[in-house]
Amino acid sequence: MTDLLARRLLFVTGKGGVGKTTVAAALGLLAAEQGKRTLVCEVEPKGDLSAAYECGPTPFKGREVGPGLTAMSMDTEASLREYLRLIARVPVVGRIGPVATAFDFVATAAPGIREILTVGKLCYEVRERHYDLVVVDASATGQVIGQLAAPSGINELVRVGLIRSQTDWMIEILADPAVTGAVIVTTPEEMPVSEAVDLAGRLGRETAVRLACVVANRVLPELFGHREEEVFERLCGRSEKAAVAKQLGVSVEAVSSVFAAARLAVTIRRDGAGHLEQLRAGIGEEVPLVYLPYLFGRAYGLRAIRQVAESLGEEL
């Protein structure tokens, strides 16, 4: 587990809304604090990463958001231009007109083109050792498999051409478990867990990338141990609640609401624990599983990212 940040390329994925960006941003922060030159890349440029770091826009060329920490957003057109300039050495990039729109159509039709430009850029940063660690706020469950499988899959479609000749080194980086790992983020809820389990299976079957770790985000604290629970049940009795209300000088209804809220908390927690058991059973014993506490306060922005990074630091 401690070697998670010793890898060079981490793809953070999971169902939408489970906190992928938060976890990716926190991993980046943690790595940078450990002295690693770190790049965090948002694959879908929705601005979530800049919201997480509370910085301005994070362009393709990168933006320094802290000591040793750079954030960027993927842009497949920019990636294509960079690729043409650096690798294909096409001199006329500036003059080939609206690459983006024409390219959009080709990329829509030909699977893997867009994906290869995304993964290719990330692998390139790893290969060139511009950074010690590249953390990817990757696409959600639906698309990430296509991205990770692109270098192998593209061989089927593109029989000749430069892209084809460029995939071998990418595959080498992606397939080395010491270099590259996937991190699946989930929450203790039904759909996120079942998607996480499904994704864990597909990663193994359809891509060369190994699952490095699963993060269960927003896990509620356990309120009571066994003895506490017995006492709690007794306190919920009518005469006990009445005694409490009388002693405190508040209404019985108000005391009941407070106790009911605790019961709801216990129920939600227990419900979640059931899903976490399914998660554990689904991903297997050998995959490290990290729990992150539910943040009752603001779950957004740099303060939340720091909190999550701290929890991750303790767990890793």
Contacts of another protein in 198-227 (CB under 8 A)? 223-224, 227
Binding residue (CB under 8 A) for another protein from 1, 86, 242, 264 = 264
Q: Does 99 bind another protein (CB under 8 A)?
A: yes
Kindly indicate which of the ranges 4-12, 56-64, 96-104, 197-205 contains the residues binding another protein, using the contact rule CB under 8 A: 96-104
Q: Smallest distance, Å, CB 227 to another protein?
A: 5
- Sign of the CA dihedral running 20, 25, 30, 31: positive
Burial bucket for residue 102 (CB in 10 Å: 0-12, 13-18, 19+): exposed
Terminus-to-terminus CA distance in the chain, angstroms?
A: 6
Token couple for 96: 């080939």
Interface map 3-22 toward another protein (x if CB under 8 A): ------------xxx-----
Q: Smallest distance, Å, CB 235 to another protein?
A: 6
Geometric angle at alpha carbon 134, from 184 and 152, rounded to 5° = 70
Helix (H) or strand (E) holding 161: none
Q: Smallest distance, Å, CB 184 to another protein?
A: 15
Kindly indicate which of the ranges 59-67, 95-103, 124-132, 171-179 contains the residues binding another protein, using the contact rule CB under 8 A: 95-103
**Which residues between 31 and 90 bind another protein (CB under 8 A)?**
44, 46, 83-84, 88, 90
**Residue closest to 20 by CA, chosen among 186, 203, 144, 220:** 186
Inter-CA distances, 262 with 70, 235, 249, 251, 256, Å: 42, 12, 20, 17, 10
Kindly indicate which of the ranges 27-35, 62-70, 188-196, 198-206 contains the residues binding another protein, using the contact rule CB under 8 A: 188-196
Geometric angle at alpha carbon 21, from 313 and 297, rounded to 5° = 70
Total number of residues that touch another protein (CB under 8 A)? 80
**Which residues between 112 and 151 bind another protein (CB under 8 A)?**
113, 139-140, 142-143, 146
